[in-house]
């Protein structure tokens, strides 16, 4: 079975631009969560979606938004990019509403210049 997939794997943007990151969960998983991991730190929770509805949101500005589609795949959008948005963005899926085992994708490495 395919694991969690993310695209693209790497991305370079300039300040002020917009970026869209994509995630496909494990087949049958209805919950998708997004995390930002800055070099040397642990992942920071951004969003959780379950059954296409936002169930949890971390301490991130409104420049960050996400959505989940009927097939449970998800997009993370970041507007007006800042240098500090440079990070590894991780997507994780789980079979339930949350708090249980999450399966992570390989991440998208975003560099903002």
Partner 1 sequence: SQQGEEDPQALSIQEGENATMNCSYKTSINNLQWYRQNSGRGLVHLILIRSNEREKHSGRLRVTLDTSKKSSSLLITASRAADTASYFCATDEGGGFKTIFGAGTRLFVKA
Closer residue to partner 1 (CB): 19 or 91: 91
CB of 16 to partner 1, least distance (A): 26
Closer residue to partner 1 (CB): 41 or 62: 41
Pick the stretch among 22-30, 36-44, 60-68, 73-81 that binds partner 1 (CB under 8 A). 36-44
CB 21 within 8 A of CB 89: yes
Count of helix runs (H) and strand runs (E) in the chain: 0, 11
Contact call for residue 34 and partner 1 (CB under 8 A) = no
Residues near partner 1 (CB under 8 A), total? 31
Buried b (16+ CB within 10 A) or exposed e, 26-36: beebbbbbbbb
One character per residue 94-113, x = contact with partner 1 (rule: CB under 8 A) = ---xxxxxxxxxxx-x----
CB 47 within 8 A of CB 62: no
């Amino acid at each position: 079975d395919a694991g969690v997939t993310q695209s693209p794997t790497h991305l370079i943007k300039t300040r002020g631009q917009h970026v869209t990151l994509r995630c496909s969960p494990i087949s049958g998983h209805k919950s998708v969560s997004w995390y930002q991991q800055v070099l040397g730190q642990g992942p920071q929770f951004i969003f959780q979606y379950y059954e296409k509805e936002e169930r949890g949101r971390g301490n991130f500005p409104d420049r960050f938004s996400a959505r989940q589609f009927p097939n449970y795949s998800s997009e993370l959008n970041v507007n007006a990019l800042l240098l500090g948005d440079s990070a590894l963005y991780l997507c994780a899926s789980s079979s339930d509403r949350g708090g249980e085992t999450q399966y992570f994708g390989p991440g998208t490495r975003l560099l903002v210049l």
